[in-house]
Amino acid sequence: MNYIIIDQGTSSTKGFLINFDGQILHSNKINYKLDNPKPFHFECNPISILNDIELLFNEMIQASGAKKIISTGFAFQRSTFLFWNKLTCKPLTNAISWQDSRATEVIKPLFEYNDKFWNITGAPLSAHFGGPKFMYMLKNNKLLRQKIRDNEIYFGPLSSFITHAATKKPAIDESIICRTLMYNLEKGKWSDFATNLFNTPKQCLPPIKPVKHDYGLLFNSTIPLNVVIGDQQAALIGQNQLIKNSIGSNFGTSASIQFNTGNRPVNVPGLISSILFSENKKKTFMVEGTINGCNSLFYHLENVLSIPHNKMVWHERVKNIKTNGVFIPGFNGLSAPYWKTGFNDIYVDLKNNKNQIIRAGMESIGFLIYDILEKLREAGLKVPEILNASGGSARPVLLQFISDLTKLKIGYYDVLDQTAIGVSKILRDSLFKNDDDKLRVFSPNQLANRSIKLSKWKRIIIEKKIVN
C-alpha cells in the first residue's frame, strides 16, 4: 500500500511515492520561476502549477505499479492568493505570491486595527496575507467587483484553487486559512470584524475543512485526497510528530520556526499563532516566526551582485569568510518579529566584497532566528535545548552559525523532505511514532564577538527604523 504526496513550494513542485513504513520509493521535482513585473510584485500562473501537480500525480501512479495507492496528501506554500470561477475553476487572476507586498498602501488606513487583528486572527495586518491582497485586487479590477456581486467567484489561497480544480469540491483547510487574515482563531470561523473591514463577502470564501478530511477524488481517478496542510506545519510534524512543546525549523525559499502549543492558541507579540493540525473537531495550535529571505535571499543576491546561478553556491563561498558588517534584506520585506514590508536592502560596514555581503546575508537569517527565539522566551514558552531543522537550505555552515549564535544544539535530518514525511505521517496515522530518521547534531562553539555582533544587529534594526 502506497501514498502520493505533493509538496507545492515557492520555486518548485515535488511529488513523492511513499510506502506504509514511511520510505520514499520515488520522487520528482518540477521547477518554476515567479514573475517579478515590478518592485515588490511577485506572482505566478496557477494553471501551470495545477498542470505540474497532475503530471507528478500521474507519474507517482505509474511508479507504484501494481501496488495500490490508498490516498494522497498536499502540502502548500500558504500566503499565495487568487480569484477563480466557482463553476469552471478558471482563474481570473494570477496567483499573488506570499512575497508580494503590493497591497501596502491600500491597508495603511487600517493600521490602527493592527492589535485587534492580531488578537482575533493570530497574525498582524500585513500586505503579505490574504485580506489585504483581496482589497488591492478589487480596487484595481472592476470585473472582479462585478463577479463578486454576482456570486460567481471564490477568493482563497493557491491550495484551495488547486484542491477545487483537482477534486471539483471547494475547500479551504484550517492550517492555511490563518493566512487569509480573516479567520477567528479562537472561535474557529470567519471573523465578522475582518471580513467586514476587507469588504469580503463570506460567500466569496471557500468552505472551511479540517486538515485531515475527505476532500474528494483527484483528477477523475479513484484516489482520494485526504490531507491539505501548510508546508511549514507539515515540516514540524515530520520532525517532531505531534508533541506539545516541540519546536522545529525549516529552511527553504523562506524559513520559519514553529512551536507546538497544544490544544489552545497562544498569542506571542511579533509572531503568528495558527492551527498546526486538525481532524474532525480536534485542533492542535502552533506559534510561528517566519523569515522571508532564506534561499530567496541568495537568488536575490545573484542579481544584485551579478553572480550566475551556477557560480553562487553560497554555502561554499561563506565557509571561511568573516565579516563585521550587517546586511538587512528588504527586497521582499521582513516578517517576524518586525513585520516591515518591502524596502531597499541595508548594507552596514560592507565594502564591495561579494563574499562578505553573501556571508552577512546568511548571518541575517541567524539573527532573525535568534530574535524569534527571544520572543518565545519572553512569552514564557520553554525553548528546548535542541532545535530540529530541515529543508534544502539547511546547510551545515548556516546551522553551525545558528547554533553558535543561539547556544542551542541544532539537529538536522538526513532526509531533506520533512514536509513530505510530515504529510505521510498524517496519512499513515503515525503522528506519535518515530520513523528513526538519522539526526546530525551541530553543537555550539565559541563565536568570536558574539555579543558585539548581536548588539550591532539590534542597533542597526533600531537606527534604520525597522522596529515600528
Domain boundaries, the chain: 2-230
CB 316 within 8 A of CB 336: no
**Residue 109: is the preceding peptide bond cis (ω within 30°)?**
no
Q: Name the band, by pLDDT with cuts 50, 70 and 90, for residue 456.
A: very high
Q: Which tens digits make up the pLDDT trace of 25-55?
A: 999 999 998 899 998 899 999 999 999 999 9
Phi, psi torsion values for 363, nearest 5 degrees: -65, -30
Average pLDDT over residues 267-296: 95
Q: Which tens digits make up the pLDDT trace of 232-257?
A: 999 999 887 788 999 999 998 899 99
- Write down the pLDDT at residue 438: 67
- The number of beta carbons lying within 10 Å of the beta carbon of residue 362 is 26
Say whether pLDDT at 435 is over 80.
no
| Stretch (H or E) spanning 303 | helix 295-304
Say whether pLDDT at 226 is over 90.
yes
- The residue behind cell 480596487 is 139
pTM for the full model? 0.93
- Beta-bridge partners for 256: 250, 290
Strands 272-279 and 255-262: unpaired
Say whether pLDDT at 177 is over 60.
yes
Look up the CATH number of domain 2-230.
3.30.420.40
Q: Which tens digits make up the pLDDT trace of 74-124?
A: 999 999 999 999 999 999 999 999 889 999 999 999 999 999 999 999 999
Average pLDDT over residues 165-184: 97
- Write down the pLDDT at residue 241: 76
> What is the spatial distance between Cα 151 and Cα 129, in angstroms, rounded to a whole number?
23
Share of the chain above pLDDT 70, in %: 98
CB 20 within 8 A of CB 71: no
